[in-house]
């Protein structure tokens, strides 16, 4: 291995460490607790080293969002693949999405609430974000109904899931009704 390759590998490892540490700190204490100073202390590197990887917290949030998008895509695809039939796939996808949001609140915030400097719904949207949307559309497109654009239907269904995730997390919805909400959403929106 050349010196250049070793340096590139070490740089990539440091970057993964920064992102993992930021994510861990955000999940434990919230995003307000994530500062470059605290991250530098936790990973035992100087702040200039952090800034050599990320220009600041915004870019770190973006990196966590991209990582989270890939994880969410994997989770919803796995859930949908394990279900039989279009309606069951849509319901499994909805449950997996809401479960992901509940289990990973800081990552979910990085994806959908905080400014990570990432463009959404544009040509230059990063691939992990496009793939997460594609993972939703793969199952939801088949229940959109005749004459309904699958992408548009996926946006409406996703917006409904986001609303449920956000309101549940804020304590504005009764947790014991979560399963019924998914069933109602699928029954009313999905054409099977």
What pLDDT, in 10s, does the model give residues 18-52? 999 999 999 999 999 999 999 999 999 999 999 99
Question: Cα 84–90–94 angle (5° rounding)?
Answer: 125
Q: Residues near 70 by Cβ (< 8 Å), separated by ≥ 6?
A: 128, 131, 132
Q: Residues near 72 by Cβ (< 8 Å), separated by ≥ 6?
A: 97, 100, 111, 132, 135
For the stretch 92-124, pLDDT in tens is 999 999 999 999 999 999 999 999 999 999 999
Mean pLDDT of the chain: 95
Cα gap 7→20, rounded to integer Å: 20
Residue 191: predicted pLDDT = 84
For the stretch 129-147, pLDDT in tens is 999 999 999 999 999 999 9
- Can you tell me the mean pLDDT for 2-29? 94
Question: For residue 45, what are the CA distances in angstroms to 26, 40, 78, 117?
Answer: 19, 5, 37, 24
Q: Residues near 106 by Cβ (< 8 Å), separated by ≥ 6?
A: 23, 26, 27, 30, 31, 64
**Res. 66 pLDDT band, cuts 50 70 90:** very high
Residue 1: predicted pLDDT = 76
DSSP state for residue 170 in the 8-state scheme = T
- DSSP for 12-43? HHHHHHHHHHHHHHHHHH-GGG--HHHHHHHH
**Res. 177 pLDDT band, cuts 50 70 90:** very high
Residue 156: predicted pLDDT = 96
Which of these, 132, 128, 134, 137, lies nearest to 89 by C-alpha position? 137
Which of these, 165, 133, 166, lies nearest to 150 by C-alpha position? 133
């Amino acid at each position: 291995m050349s010196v250049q390759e070793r340096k590139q590998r070490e740089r990539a490892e440091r970057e993964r460490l920064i992102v993992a540490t930021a994510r861990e700190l955000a999940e434990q204490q919230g995003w307000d607790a994530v500062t470059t100073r605290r991250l530098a202390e936790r990973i035992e590197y100087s702040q200039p080293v952090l800034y050599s990887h990320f220009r600041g917290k915004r870019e770190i949030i973006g990196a966590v969002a991209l990582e989270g998008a890939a994880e969410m895509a994997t989770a919803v695809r796995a859930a949908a693949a394990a279900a039989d039939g279009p309606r069951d796939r849509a319901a499994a996808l909805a449950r997996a999405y809401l479960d992901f949001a509940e289990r990973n609140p800081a990552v979910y915030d990085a994806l959908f609430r905080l400014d990570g400097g990432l463009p959404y719904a544009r040509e230059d949207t990063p691939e992990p974000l496009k793939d997460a949307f594609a993972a939703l559309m793969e199952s939801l497109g088949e229940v959109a109904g005749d004459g309904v654009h699958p992408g548009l239907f996926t946006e409406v269904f996703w917006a409904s899931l986001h609303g449920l995730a956000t309101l549940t997390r804020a304590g504005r919805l009764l947790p014991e009704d979560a399963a019924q909400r998914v069933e109602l959403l699928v029954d009313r929106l999905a054409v099977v």
